[in-house]
Amino acid sequence: MATFAAMLALSHNASALPLNVGDSHELGFLWPALPSGNQNKVTYVNHLIGMALGSVDIANGQIYFRSTHAFGPLPTATWALNGTGTTINLGVGGVYTYLLANYSLSGAHVWYIGNLTGVITIPAIAGFSRLAGWTLFGPGGVGVPDGGITAILLALAVCVLAMYRRFATG
Band (145; pLDDT cuts 50, 70, 90): very low
Parallel, antiparallel or unpaired: strands 77-83 and 125-126: unpaired
pLDDT at 106: 87
- Rounded to the nearest integer, the mean pLDDT of the chain is 84
Band (133; pLDDT cuts 50, 70, 90): very high
pLDDT tens string 68-79: 999 999 999 999
Band (157; pLDDT cuts 50, 70, 90): low
- The candidate with the shortest Cα–Cα distance to 89, out of 1, 147, 12, is 12
Band (34; pLDDT cuts 50, 70, 90): confident
pTM: 0.74
Who wins on pLDDT, 121 or 105?
Answer: 121
Q: How far apart are CA 137 and CA 139, in angstroms?
A: 7
Contact (CB, 8 A) for 89 and 17: no
Contact (CB, 8 A) for 41 and 5: no
